[in-house]
């Protein structure tokens, strides 16, 4: 086996976003593209000589080939050990746990999360640091600088490593440990939740449907839900990971997980429904006849987490992204714990978690998690819901009703306009940004604007500042609008508009969210002029 040096040159556009570098698969499979980016990671972190790494991905197209390249490049860089999931598979939260539990120096996760997979779809590479979380901005900036300065990469010429069975391998003096992707993660879940109580729930006739969406959580859900917890066989569907996610879009929301939603709204609905995404870090929760928004789910979990053994001592604090509804804020106020508002991107929760300031955190984009790892965790959220249901013995609708009566309801919706011309989208927000100082006090479509600003975040742990994190418009009646360009797409620009309105616990708690938010949406259109500027009559996705 020979270590070779390959001359190369910078490739434009290799700037990591909020969750690593995501591009079209055909971009990643171009000569030198993957190699340049991986070498840039090594260069940015001071090399991998003598270091231990974790490697795995969600099984999407090109996952297997990319894993072999990264192993050969790690060996060429002098890495001491790489822990890799069997078959190259690891859910993102499982990878985070392995980095933390094995004391690794970092990890490489191959995924584009909830984006579609396949040769004509999306691929991604993300670097996680030693705390198990996504690289902070300071590290991703170093990686980006390295991509613009790279002149060579190093790789070992060797045959593919057998990743099909657990066990130890060697590659040019580097140890490769192939591990069962589920085992360590399942052991962690058993320390957090009352498996006996959940097992009793299923043995008492409780039914559920978990849609793994042909993605990475299929093996995890089968092993834990049907194996360890005695959920009836067949409770987990679409459980075999597929390179193109069965031709579907592995995003657990009412649009892309429509079959599950239709089942849960029908006469033959099971008691509980859930779904997870491509790499296992997002979740969707559905009760019989009721969809639980991610923002409501975070609030309900925060209010009831003490029912699970791992959180019986109470929560240190909670955190949410700015664009997530303020439902969890009201829970934190009642519990007399801190609630932090951060920019979008799980990496912003990392400092708060590491400093012991928060226990639970979440984002409106179906991500919820706790201090057990440094990533959002879809299956963890499902298990916490099951633990709560096992204790309360109430249907999901009743739990929501009781929660809204106690805390009020934050009607909330996100409207996504996808694949916009980036210039058009940028100009639209620039025009709105220029008007911010003059908006407070104006009446628009019958609603008074009380505040208007662009969110900036000062990290209370390290003092770092993140600016330009979304435009916020506060309206009378405890309502608001948020405008933000997303960093998770791979084609054009995605504009997200978030609508929110609070209803007290004594008010109308069971209105259709679309109707309840229609006046807020009218203000958003008047302020942005999105129809005139983009030609779009309606959003591509509403969640």
Question: Catalytic site residues?
Answer: 113
| Helix ranges, 336-377 (H) | 347-354
For helices 195-203 and 378-392, what crossing angle results, to 10°?
Answer: 70
- The DSSP string of 3-42 is EEEEE----TT---BBTBEEEEHHHHTSTTHHHHHHHHHH
User: Residue 405: which H helix or E strand, with range?
Assistant: helix 396-407
8 A C-beta contact, residue 171 and residue 199: no
Determine the 3-state secondary structure of 119 from DSSP. Answer: coil
Between vectors from CA 33 to CA 31 and to CA 38, what angle results, nearest 5°?
130
Between vectors from CA 300 to CA 298 and to CA 304, what angle results, nearest 5°?
115
Q: What is the rounded radius of gyration, in angstroms, for the C-alpha atoms of the chain?
A: 23
- The DSSP string of 470-524 is -EEEEETTTEEEEEEEESS-SSSEEEEEEEEEEE-TTS--SS-HHHHHHHHHHHH
> Who's near 126: CB < 8 A, 6+ residues apart?
16, 19, 20, 21, 108, 109, 111, 134, 135
d(CA 340, CA 333): 12
8 A C-beta contact, residue 299 and residue 341: no
End-to-end CA distance of the chain: 52
């Amino acid at each position: 086996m020979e270590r070779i040096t390959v001359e190369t040159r910078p490739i434009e556009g290799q700037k990591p976003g909020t969750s690593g570098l995501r591009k079209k698969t055909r971009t990643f499979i171009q000569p030198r593209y993957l190699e340049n980016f991986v070498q840039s990671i090594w260069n940015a972190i001071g090399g991998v000589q003598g270091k231990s790494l974790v490697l795995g991905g969600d099984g999407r197209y090109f996952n297997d080939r990319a894993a072999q390249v990264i192993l050969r490049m790690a060996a060429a860089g002098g890495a001491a050990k790489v822990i890799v999931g069997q078959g190259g598979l690891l859910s993102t939260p499982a990878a985070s746990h392995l980095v933390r539990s094995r004391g690794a120096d970092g990890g490489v996760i191959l995924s584009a999360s909830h984006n579609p997979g396949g040769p004509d779809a999306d691929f991604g590479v993300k670097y996680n640091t030693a705390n198990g979380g996504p690289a902070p901005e300071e590290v991703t900036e170093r990686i980006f600088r390295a991509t613009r300065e790279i002149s060579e990469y190093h790789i070992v010429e060797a045959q593919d490593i057998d990743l099909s069975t657990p066990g130890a391998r060697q590659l040019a003096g580097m140890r490769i440990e192939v591990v069962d992707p589920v085992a360590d993660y399942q052991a962690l879940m058993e320390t957090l939740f009352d498996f006996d109580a959940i097992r009793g729930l299923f043995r008492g006739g409780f039914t559920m449907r978990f849609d793994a969406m042909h993605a990475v959580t299929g093996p995890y859900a089968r092993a834990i839900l049907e194996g360890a917890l005695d959920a009836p066989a067949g409770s987990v569907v679409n459980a075999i990971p597929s390179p193109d996610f069965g031709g579907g879009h592995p995003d657990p929301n009412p649009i892309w997980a429509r079959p599950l939603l239709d089942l849960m709204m029908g006469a033959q609905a099971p008691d509980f429904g859930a779904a997870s995404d491509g790499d296992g870090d997002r979740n969707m929760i559905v009760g019989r006849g009721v969809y639980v928004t991610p923002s409501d789910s975070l609030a309900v979990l925060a209010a009831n987490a003490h029912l699970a053994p791992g959180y019986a001592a109470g929560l240190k604090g909670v955190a949410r992204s700015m664009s997530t509804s303020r439902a969890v804020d009201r829970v934190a106020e009642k519990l007399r714990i801190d609630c932090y508002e951060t920019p979008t991107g799980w990496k912003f929760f990392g400092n708060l978690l590491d400093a012991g300031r928060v226990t639970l955190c979440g984002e409106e984009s179906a991500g919820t998690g706790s201090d057990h790892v440094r990533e959002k965790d879809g299956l963890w959220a499902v298990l916490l819901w099951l633990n709560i249901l096992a204790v309360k013995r109430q249907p999901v609708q009743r739990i929501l009703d009781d929660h809204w009566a106690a805390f009020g309801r934050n009607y909330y919706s996100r409207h996504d306009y996808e694949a916009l011309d980036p210039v058009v989208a940028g100009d639209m927000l620039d025009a709105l940004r220029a008007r911010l100082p003059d908006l407070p006090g104006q009446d628009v479509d019958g609603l008074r604007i009380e505040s208007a600003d662009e969110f900036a975040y000062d990290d209370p742990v390290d003092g770092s500042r993140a600016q330009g994190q979304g435009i916020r418009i506060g309206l009378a009646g405890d309502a608001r609008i948020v405008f933000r360009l997303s960093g998770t797409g791979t084609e054009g620009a995605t504009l997200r508009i978030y609508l929110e309105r609070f209803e007290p616990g004594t008010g109308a708690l069971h209105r259709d969210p679309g109707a309840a938010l229609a006046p807020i949406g009218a203000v958003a259109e008047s302020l942005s002029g999105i129809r005139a500027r983009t030609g779009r009559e309606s959003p591509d996705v509403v969640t």
